[in-house]
Each structure stands twice: as C-alpha cells, then as structure tokens.
C-alpha cells in the first residue's frame, strides 16, 4: 500500500478503491431510503436477505442513519458522492481512562477533497435522500430528542435496568417507551424471532415476587445451609491442618537460620552459604504471612436463613415503593439479581406469559440474610477469602418438587436459577454452571 500524507502531515490510511459488491449494497440502501424506508426497515430488510453488515455483523439502524452533526452514517457519507472529507475529528487522550476519544473539529476546519472516481451514488439520489433525512429531523424535532436522551440518562434507574436479556438471541431486552421491554435485535434488526415483549412493571412484580417467595424456599435453603456448613467445616479443618504444618515448618526454618547465623559469626565461609541464607529468610517471611492470614473468619449460616432473607426482601420491597429513600433499596435489590432472561412462551396462546428465568446472585442473597451489622460476616462475605469459597461451594442443584438432585459442591458456580412464568410455582432450579 502506498502511504501518503495529508497537508497536516498525517498518514492517509487505506488508499481507497471501489468494492463492487459493497457498492451495490450501498446503492440499495440509498434507493430504499429515497423510497421512504426508515433506517430500521432498511436494516431489517438487509438482515432478512442475509446480507452481512459492517465487519460481518448484522445491520443496525444507527449504522445507516448516523448522526447529523457528526456527518456519520451511511446515508450521510459524502464519500459515496465522490467527496472525501478529512479532518472531521481529532483524538485526545482521556486523562481518566487513558483511552483515545474522538472530538469533533469545527466544520470550518474540515477538508474536502474531490475523489470523483469513488462516486457510487448519483447526485439526484443523494439529494433526494438528504431532503428526506432533513424532513424527518424537523418533524421529530431533533433538539427535543437530545433533551429526551438527557432526561433518559438522568432518570433514576429501574430495578431491572441492564439486567434483562433475550432468551432467544442473548442480546439486550431494551425499553420501548416508558413501560415496555422487548428484544432490541428483533425490534430493530429483525435478526431474532422473539417478538413478544413484556411490560416492565409486570416483569418487576414477577421478579420481586420470585425473590421473595421462590428463590429461597425453606427446604432448599435448609439443604443449602447443610451443604455450606459441611463445606465450611471441611475448609476449616483443611485450614487448621495447613496452619499446624506451617507452624512446624516455621520452627524448623528458624532453627536452621539461627544455626547458619551462628556458623557465620564463628567465621565459617562456604560457597552457596549466602544463597541458602536468602532462601531460608524468604521462606520464613512467607510462612509468617501465611500463619498471620490463616484466621479469616467465615460466616456461619443460621438455619433460619430463608426466613431472615424473606423479611429483608419484603422490607426492601416496601422501601422501593416509597417516594423517598428508594435508591439504597433499589441498589440492594439490584445486587440480588444476576440476570433475567425472557423467552417466547411455549405454544401460540397470546395470553400466556413469556418464559422468564431469573438468575440470582447467591453471595448477595446470603449476605442479605446474615445478621445485620455483624461486620465480620459482611466483611468476610465481600472479602476475597470468601468469594473463593462461594465460587467453589455454594451451588446446589435441585430439580422440580419431586426430584431433588443434590450435587457435590466443588467446582460449581454461585448461581441460583429460577424459572418464573407458567411453572412459576414448582420449578426452582439451583443451576450448576460449568
Ligand atoms: Zn432476541
């Protein structure tokens, strides 16, 4: 590739040539837009025709529409009319993150270069599309949209914000308007079949109810506490065995060091002596540290965990519905929810609820049910020492009511899975994740 530099001395990357297949897709996009298709409709059509988008991914409306002020998006890209625009942006390093971020240059600093051999859209088609884009912008009141985005960002978070995913494609289940959630890919790209949404308020009620009544059933919690206690005791005896062995080794290392130091004091010099001294001293430091940190206290769980947990969630639920002081409660409830997946219901009955799977964060759940204000248990739960215990030990696998499959705890992840919806009353799954 030939490297040239522009008038500011920056390297021009990628000397361009027309890729005919891509050019055909671009012409199709402009033609559809000129005929009045919205960017969302265009994205859906292209995805429906299995035409790969930029970087091989599915088409998105934003890629097609772009941003008016920034002059981005396929429909606003002047390169397709044979004009290359340079120097639209400059890059600065964000001092907080160290990442390069783009900033717009004033339009007076933009540099336009005629590259007529790269034109793929004729002027009439371009003008027609630009008129349409401008008309849509005026009709929608773009400055009002900016204000709406600002408002959206400032608005208090909902309990489920950022936690709801599509059971069909794994993508986000985004908000439509004030009180409705549906699969973003199904709505905007047509790449997912999960077209059924759910009202946010309805989903919140289901999830809060599941947290209160399903996720910590007394019989499951009893099993959980039993398993946890067994694991707790096993770890404790492992720890005390290790502690005793470390103490014995420390005594021995200290004796050897003392012996060496005496020998050196009496004038003994031998090759490798210094190295031996260093090794022993390093081991002594290591053993001392191991012995000092061996005493991290783990929370012992009360058999009444389920009751305590339920009372707390009920309190939180009440706090959430109050006008004031809801923020702390909101964050506390959010911490209990790992994710919520929404899939289409089985069968075609339009009245049936989507299938809702709630994955709870068990460390947070157990933390919530521990004695309030007991700092040791709280610190221990949050501390690295215990998160390891949870990661390896908390998982219990249970089937439906008739079949309780209790597995060994080692190597299982810390998730509880609950199926809500039709089988809401029966199916409590403590799911083993790989
Ligand atoms: Zn989806």
3-class state of residue 429 by DSSP: strand
Q: Does the structure show a pLDDT above 90 at 183?
A: yes
pLDDT value of residue 379? 39
Q: Does the structure show a pLDDT above 90 at 185?
A: yes
d(CA 340, CA 207): 8
Q: Does the structure show a pLDDT above 80 at 219?
A: no
* Ligand 1 centroid distance, CA of 256 (Å): 66
- Domain boundaries of the chain, sorted by first residue: 4-151, 156-234+301-434, 235-295
pLDDT value of residue 94? 76
* Ligand 1 centroid distance, CA of 10 (Å): 43
Is residue 183 within 8 Å of residue 164, measured between CB atoms? no
Residues ≥6 apart with Cβ < 8 Å to 114: 82, 83, 84
More confident call, 242 vs 394: 242
More confident call, 113 vs 298: 113
* Ligand 1 centroid distance, CA of 197 (Å): 10
d(CA 209, CA 421): 11
pLDDT value of residue 182? 93
More confident call, 185 vs 210: 185
More confident call, 184 vs 312: 184
* Ligand 1 centroid distance, CA of 170 (Å): 6
**In DSSP terms, which residues pair with 91 in a beta bridge?**
102
Is residue 111 within 8 Å of residue 85, measured between CB atoms? yes
CA 201 from centre of chain: 22
Q: Confidence band (pLDDT; 50, 70, 90) for 281?
A: very high
- Work out the average pLDDT over 365-394: 43
* Ligand 1 centroid distance, CA of 195 (Å): 8
Query: Among 94-98, 295-299, 316-320, 339-343, which stretch is predicted with the lowest mean pLDDT?
Result: 295-299
* Ligand 1 centroid distance, CA of 183 (Å): 5
For 296, the token pair is 């991290």
Helix 200-209 vs helix 305-321: crossing angle, to nearest 10: 150
Strands 428-429 and 415-420, sheet pairing? antiparallel
* Ligand 1 centroid distance, CA of 205 (Å): 22
d(CA 415, CA 294): 27
Residues ≥6 apart with Cβ < 8 Å to 304: none
* Ligand 1 centroid distance, CA of 59 (Å): 14
- Which CATH code, of 3.10.270.10, 3.40.50.1700, 3.90.1750.20, 3.40.50.11890, is assigned to 4-151? 3.90.1750.20
* Ligand 1 centroid distance, CA of 186 (Å): 5
For 125, the token pair is 């088609």
C-alpha distance from residue 132 to each of 33, 43, 45, 67 (Å):
8, 17, 19, 14
- Work out the average pLDDT over 396-421: 32
Which tens digits make up the pLDDT trace of 52-98?
Answer: 998 888 999 889 988 877 778 899 998 899 988 888 878 887 777 77
pLDDT value of residue 240? 82
Closest CA to 132 of 28, 43, 39, 23: 39
Q: Does the structure show a pLDDT above 70 at 396?
A: no
* Ligand 1 centroid distance, CA of 38 (Å): 21
Q: Does the structure show a pLDDT above 80 at 349?
A: no
d(CA 259, CA 252): 11
Q: Does the structure show a pLDDT above 70 at 265?
A: yes
Is residue 176 within 8 Å of residue 197, measured between CB atoms? yes
Which tens digits make up the pLDDT trace of 123-158?
Answer: 989 988 988 888 877 776 655 555 545 444 444 468
């Amino acid at each position: 590739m030939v490297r040239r530099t522009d008038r500011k001395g920056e390297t021009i990357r990628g000397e361009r040539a027309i890729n005919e297949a891509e050019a055909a897709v671009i012409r199709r996009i402009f033609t559809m837009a000129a005929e009045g298709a919205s960017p969302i409709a265009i994205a859906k059509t292209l995805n429906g025709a299995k035409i790969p988008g930029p970087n091989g991914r599915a088409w998105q409306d934003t890629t097609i529409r772009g941003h008016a002020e920034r002059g981005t998006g396929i429909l606003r890209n002047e390169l397709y009319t044979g004009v290359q625009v340079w120097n639209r942006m400059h890059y600065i390093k964000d001092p907080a993150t160290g990442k390069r971020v783009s900033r717009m240059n004033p339009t007076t600093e933009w540099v336009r270069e005629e590259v007529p051999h790269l034109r793929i859209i004729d002027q009439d088609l371009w003008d027609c599309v630009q008129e349409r884009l401008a008309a849509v912008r005026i009709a929608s009141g773009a400055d009002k949209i900016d204000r709406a985005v600002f408002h959206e960002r400032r608005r208090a978070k909902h309990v489920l914000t950022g936690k709801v995913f599509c059971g069909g494609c794994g993508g986000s289940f985004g908000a439509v308007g004030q009180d409705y959630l549906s699969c973003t890919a199904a709505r905007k790209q047509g790449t997912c079949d999960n077209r059924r949404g759910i009202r946010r308020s309805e989903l919140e009620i289901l999830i809060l109810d599941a947290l209160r009544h399903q996720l910590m059933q007394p019989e499951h919690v009893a099993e959980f506490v039993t398993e946890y206690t067994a694991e707790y005791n096993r770890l404790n005896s492992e720890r005390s065995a290790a502690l005793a062995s470390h103490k014995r080794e420390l005594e021995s290392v200290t004796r050897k060091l003392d012996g060496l130091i005496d020998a050196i004091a009496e004038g003994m010099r031998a090759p490798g002596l210094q190295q031996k001294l260093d090794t022993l001293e390093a081991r002594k430091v290591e053993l001392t540290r191991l012995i000092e940190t061996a005493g991290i206290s783990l929370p012992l769980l009360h058999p009444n965990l389920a009751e305590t947990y339920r009372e707390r969630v009920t309190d939180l639920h009440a706090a959430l519905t109050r006008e004031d002081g809801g923020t702390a409660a909101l964050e506390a409830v959010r911490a209990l929810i790992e994710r919520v997946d929404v899939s289409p219901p089985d069968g075609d009955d339009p009245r049936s609820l989507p299938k809702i799977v709630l994955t709870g964060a068990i460390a947070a759940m157990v933390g919530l049910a521990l004695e309030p204000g007991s700092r040791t248990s709280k610190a221990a739960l949050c501390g690295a020492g215990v998160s390891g215990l949870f990661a390896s030990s908390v998982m219990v696998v249970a089937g439906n009511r008739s079949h309780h499959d209790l597995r060994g705890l080692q190597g299982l992840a810390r998730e509880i899975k609950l199926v809500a919806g039709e089988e809401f009353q029966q199916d409590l799954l403590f799911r083993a994740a790989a």
